[in-house]
Structure 1
């Protein structure tokens, strides 16, 4: 009798909460819940920024109505790796919103805004086009405490770095990121990283790592990350996981086996990935780290002995690592001191200067580029088979590694405009590497679980209404390495916190996004 009594009390309460009209109704769509299940044809009702109904609704029940017939309706895409540095200049984040991204995780590769807490506070006052969250960067912290010195921290310095991590976590960071390929992170030994990862773990954070090496040395770098996860008892993400350089093509078979073995031992290892066979970073990645220690590169190259050693290291990297054994594989994306190089290759530059494009000359031009202020650089040095292999792994999420971009500004990697549509159009529909429901899970429910985003990433009553409506038959990235400033096709609606930011393919310039702090989720 008590159960019946409770049901009788609940029924009038349920009906009393039903509004006269919902803010938005999405009708007739194929709804993917973000948990990897088959789609169902149901309608969604949205009010006050949340999903408040799933079932059958009529047009007259909504203030606004979207007819999603023959369209996929999915949770908003969660980008696990975004360079949000231009966010205050581009708060609408159009290049990401048009891809269907409703939450972007910034602060990757060991680099986060600094000072961290004042920056987050400033975002609370900034109208944003998408939701954002942040990791706190190990490189940023180490640079603040030690600078670019190649040495271990003192006990006092390590304590200060740990304090910075703890303060960042309390302010809302989702965890700590490292960039062990970059200065000054490359100077950090294992014990230092474990200590900082433990601090993040104690506050419920995760650990994401740009590995120490992604070419020769990749397997040892994966092993190091797994050891950090084990010793610090922290969930880890091998971010933008890849195998760089011709000599490492095929190594994903081994790295994925290492991930599986670690998970079998209870170590919580996952990965994120962008769907391209080319990476992007600075020209300095071709230069030995020791040559840039302390910021004294310009002085070192004046010494002929050091110059020759630096040049030899660059030649090795061109032949064995990101250079891909070919100067044509090194493409410039941003060259502030010589914009006419943007989109061209190191081979092109040398030819423009009237010289023979040899690897030896290429190394000299890398030194010149660094002395001029560096460049943003695309490295075409990965194998498509590794890309597909990593993508298929059940613990791989999608992360663009893209920088917020706008048309006409530099020559960015196409991932800045096309990551998520490329997975859904090229790798799902055309190449059939993944099923559609699987790809959506890797973009929504799986990353939401990793980050603890309990009200996002899945379609459930009570969740925030972060949603994408797209045509599975036509969605496709348009951005290319030759012509990157192109928005994707096939995404008709993007809804963030219940408000449309893309309407019938048109970007509205709305600002419903907000900073999401991990500390507020617990």
Structure 2
């Protein structure tokens, strides 16, 4: 998807007030960015100069000193799919220098076929619905976004379009139907297939299913992107599975937010890095991305075992109300199920490491405080997991939650690898209005400034040039964007401007 790059540049620069930008009266340019240290996105050293823009293209690069002007950031992992239809300004992204969003992790804004009903959204004053990714892209164009957009097709969409809410194994005929939907979405412009294998319906797919689907991606020259099956006790097997899918299908693989999210396995990132390095030496094109924080953002409902989700949210809530099933749920949550990533055990059953991030009565509170509030006036402290079940029932099955489940040492070791890029795992939120979201994870507003401020300027984990490469050209190369990700004459004029001596994330968890 395209947009007016020059408009986004002036908007972002005006907000940060970090460089002199003006219209050149004496040159055939629409915009000149003066007095900059230019970091071109390739990893090469910065150089002093101006950047001149005509239309939506860079047409000249000159020489001058001052603040940093660099390639607009590409957010390799974003969840702004539907939010950009509500508000195309993309405030939380454009203000941190993001000019391209990569959408569609696990679940995408199409296709909606057969068993999966299409949504309806207001776009510029009128209701819009669509059944294909092409329809979604058309709606995005009408919404007039401030950012560029590319999207994967999500496994959840093609799986549920064929299988509905059933947990049955697909027949070969049904798998072939999924492959046809995947082929259509890739023809519509999807950059590849993305999977969320931690929860249903993605978790229902076997490795063989994923390899078969990946052969369709291979024909289109796309990318297989995966939120792996288990980031905790099964993290090593899950990384091996992602590598195996790439090796068997010949499709490039990008592992989403590579991390070790279970305290039992903290400190073992080097083993995962070694697995990936060994695969790369065998010729497997496997890479990864990370966000620069040690807490993840998901939902309280992910604490509920996968089998309880069959049939969708109404069926889940009915099971949560069933006293007999509650006993089973409590046991499986505390003890775990082989192969299931369990957020409860990942944080050691510590309620203080779960923070309610969505709007509502408990916004900004950790779960230990929520449980204490709910216990007030009761003769004895209630069973905590029963309280969790009740909260989910009261909130319609969804409570956005931040989990403190991985470490800075593991994250930075991954980030430092040359094949690891940056993706926020965030969304295009706003400070006010419909897109204000309670206490959202700080990555929604601060991912890219945090990399530059903390991991370049303060800790020196990365050079400025390498950090910019991880946020620009490395991501562009992964997804096949040939005219973005670097500053050069003829490239699209997606440019971010910032003060390298001051840039930092200001967002917090509460």
Question: TM class by shorter-chain length?
Answer: 0.7 to 0.9
Report matched runs for 1:12-161 at 5 Å: 20-56=27-63, 69-84=65-80, 85-113=82-110, 114=112, 115=131, 116-161=133-178
Aligned counterpart for 2:345 among listed residues 286, 309, 320: 320
Would the alpha carbon gap of residues 297 and 198 (structure 1) be closer, same or farther in structure 2, given more than 3 Å must change?
same
Question: Cα deviations across residues 391-448 of structure 1 (Å, max 9, x unaligned)?
Answer: 1111111000002211243211010000000000011111111111110000001001
2: CA distance between counterparts of 1:101 and 1:49? 16
Higher mean displacement: 186-195 or 294-303 = 294-303
Could you tell me whether the CA contact under 8 Å between 1:110 and 1:185 is conserved in 2? Answer: no
Q: SS at the partner of 2:361?
A: helix
1: CA distance between counterparts of 2:57 and 2:344? 53
1: CA distance between counterparts of 2:404 and 2:296? 7
1: CA distance between counterparts of 2:190 and 2:108? 13
**2:388 matches 1:366:** yes
2: CA distance between counterparts of 1:55 and 1:70? 13
Q: SS at the partner of 1:341?
A: coil
Could you tell me whether the CA contact under 8 Å between 1:346 and 1:362 is conserved in 2? Answer: no
Report matched runs for 1:113-512 at 5 Å: 113=110, 114=112, 115=131, 116-295=133-312, 296-316=315-335, 317=342, 320-321=345-346, 323-335=347-359, 339-354=360-375, 361-372=383-394, 373=396, 374-407=398-431, 408-482=436-510
TM-superposed deviation, 1:86: 1.2
Would the alpha carbon gap of residues 441 and 91 (structure 1) be closer, same or farther in structure 2, given more than 3 Å must change?
same
TM-superposed deviation, 1:55: 2.5
> Could you state the TM-score of these two structures normalised by the residue count of structure 2?
0.85
Q: SS at the partner of 2:311?
A: helix
Question: Cα deviations across residues 122-181 of structure 1 (Å, max 9, x unaligned)?
Answer: 122221111111110001111111023222211221111111111111111010100001
What count of residue pairs does the alignment treat as equivalent?
448
Could you tell me whether the CA contact under 8 Å between 2:49 and 2:65 is conserved in 1? Answer: no
Question: Cα deviations across residues 320-370 of structure 1 (Å, max 9, x unaligned)?
Answer: 22x3431011011114xxx121111111111111269x9993322222232
Would the alpha carbon gap of residues 209 and 98 (structure 1) be closer, same or farther in structure 2, given more than 3 Å must change?
same
2: CA distance between counterparts of 1:347 and 1:149? 35
Question: Cα deviations across residues 364-383 of structure 1 (Å, max 9, x unaligned)?
Answer: 22222322322011001111
TM-superposed deviation, 1:273: 0.6
Could you tell me whether the CA contact under 8 Å between 2:193 and 2:223 is conserved in 1? Answer: yes
1: CA distance between counterparts of 2:202 and 2:296? 19
Would the alpha carbon gap of residues 325 and 89 (structure 1) be closer, same or farther in structure 2, given more than 3 Å must change?
same
TM-superposed deviation, 1:27: 2.2
Higher mean displacement: 302-311 or 401-410 = 302-311
Name structure 1 gaps, 5 residues minimum: 1-18, 57-67, 483-522
Task: Compute the RMSD of aligned alpha carbons.
Answer: 1.9
Larger of the two Rg values belongs to structure: 1
2: CA distance between counterparts of 1:266 and 1:307? 48
Could you tell me whether the CA contact under 8 Å between 2:85 and 2:139 is conserved in 1? Answer: no
Question: Cα deviations across residues 2-35 of structure 1 (Å, max 9, x unaligned)?
Answer: xxxxxxxxxxxxxxxxx94211122221111111
2: CA distance between counterparts of 1:174 and 1:194? 17
2: CA distance between counterparts of 1:132 and 1:416? 17
Could you tell me whether the CA contact under 8 Å between 2:48 and 2:66 is conserved in 1? Answer: no
2: CA distance between counterparts of 1:319 and 1:156? 38
Would the alpha carbon gap of residues 283 and 330 (structure 1) be closer, same or farther in structure 2, given more than 3 Å must change?
same
Q: SS at the partner of 1:207?
A: strand
TM-superposed deviation, 1:303: 4.2
Could you tell me whether the CA contact under 8 Å between 2:84 and 2:140 is conserved in 1? Answer: no
Q: SS at the partner of 1:223?
A: helix
